[in-house]
Amino acid sequence: MVLARQRRIATDHDIQLLQGAQEYFPALIADMDAALSDIQFETYIFDCTGAGAQVAEALMRAAERGVRVHLVVDGVGTGRMAEPWRTRLRDAGVRLEVYSPLGPLGLLLPMHWRRLHRKLCVVDGRVLFCGGINVLDDFYDPNHGPLSAPRFDFAVRAVGTLVQHASDTMEQLWWRMRAVSDVRHRRLSLALADMRAASAARQAVRHAQRQQRGMRALLLLRDNLRHRASIERAYLRAIAQARREIIIANAYFVPGGKLRRALVLAARRGVRVQLLLQGRYEYFMQYHAARPVYGALLAAGVEIWEYEPSFLHAKVAVVDAATRRAWATVGSSNLDPLSLLLAREANVVVRDPAFAQQLRQRLVRARDQGGRPLDPHEYAARPWRERVLDRIAFGLMRAALWVTGNRY
């Protein structure tokens, strides 16, 4: 079993679905304000415009009252955080690290294509937030300015066994990033003492809680060492086992051959396969490289809906929600080469009919209210200029994969 190989699925979880920053930020800030020992936070984008400032303020409040706060941001998604926020966070005691900062050659070096794309937060080792939502105002985009409708995205708040898995992984990454600096400045003994103290505090919090049986859930992490294909395999298994319905909402959808074949086979055996994808132009590569794969999917009977009210940033799926075998996932992983082959990603898988039904209802509402169905004849008749751009983008993506030595 794919899930068993990653980590045994546990049944002691309470998982809450959160849609958009408007639901995510208040829940996140409430737990940060209640933190007793430490906050571990990783995100691709940390932008303090608008509502994003509320998260920064919560981190500073926690650090100022003595909570250990570790914040890791990506060197491309965030880069060097804008002043005065960077100084304010550090002065408050927030410990900030930038994952793989870009040097003079930037993204010209393939080694810099491996990014930290996951969005994780663990508070006191007792509660986990995981999903696709960055620290970014729902009504603001750094490249496009103010938005007329909120960004469409999801996260979960989770309590249970998977929290420790996330905490351990984040702790390993933090100390790996800090190791060189600490050794260089001969602070290793202080760093080890700090780590032991934080670990003891988290254990005290966890021992004070009672574990109860609840929802079945699992945290899937993708990295470039032991878990290179964990998230893709989970998707493939769920799609292969589907009997009635598959709904996938994905921001940057350029599936490889295995995923395309799995979706086609599901549609051909009578499963209703629906894809809710990005309908607005955001980036050249992601927009145009996705279009060449639509033809085979449409021909097999896969329904493709393009979401148009705002930017679709969701990375979620639900399979057979109305059955006891219901499967759902919420996370940071797109179904494209960057997420599935290069980036650090995190998805929570939930095997609970009530949760799956709730996610399905939100996706169906978004499909019906903001989705435009892609007609196969319209797709085949799209202008030659668009076809050329699609092929150029798809070719560039395949060339980039060849440079990294990956096959997709």
Q: Are 137 and 51 in contact (CB under 8 A)?
A: yes
Q: Would residue 124 show up in a list of annotated catalytic residues for this protein?
A: yes
Q: Which of 31, 320, 352, 390 is catalytic?
A: 320
Residue pair 77/155 in contact (Cβ under 8 Å)? The answer is no
Angle between helix 257-268 and helix 230-241 axes, rounded to 10 deg = 10
Asked if 351 contacts 9 with a C-beta cutoff of 8 angstroms, the reply is: yes
Catalytic residue among 138, 227, 313, 352: 313
Structure-token match 């699609």, residue found: 390
Rounded to the nearest 5°, which phi and psi values hold at 137? -60, 135
State yes or no: is 119 an active-site residue. Answer: yes
Are 303 and 371 in contact by the 8 Å Cβ rule? The answer is no
Provide the H-helix boundaries in 322-406.
337, 353-370, 376-380, 384-404
The answer to whether 74 is a known catalytic residue is: no
213 HSE (CA, 13 A, CB side): 0
Residue 258 known to be catalytic: no
Dihedral sign, Cα of residue 273, residue 217, residue 58, residue 95: negative
Marked catalytic residue, from 47, 137, 315, 336: 315
288 is catalytic: no
Which helix (H) or strand (E) element contains residue 286?
Answer: helix 284-290
313 catalytic? Reply is yes
Contact yes or no for 39/32 (Cβ under 8 A): yes
Out of 117, 165, 227, 288, pick the active-site residue: 117
Q: Which is catalytic among the residues 124, 137, 141, 352?
A: 124
- Among residues 119, 165, 227, 288, the one annotated as catalytic is 119
Q: Which two tokens stand for residue 177?
A: 């990033």
Annotated catalytic residues are: 117, 119, 124, 313, 315, 320
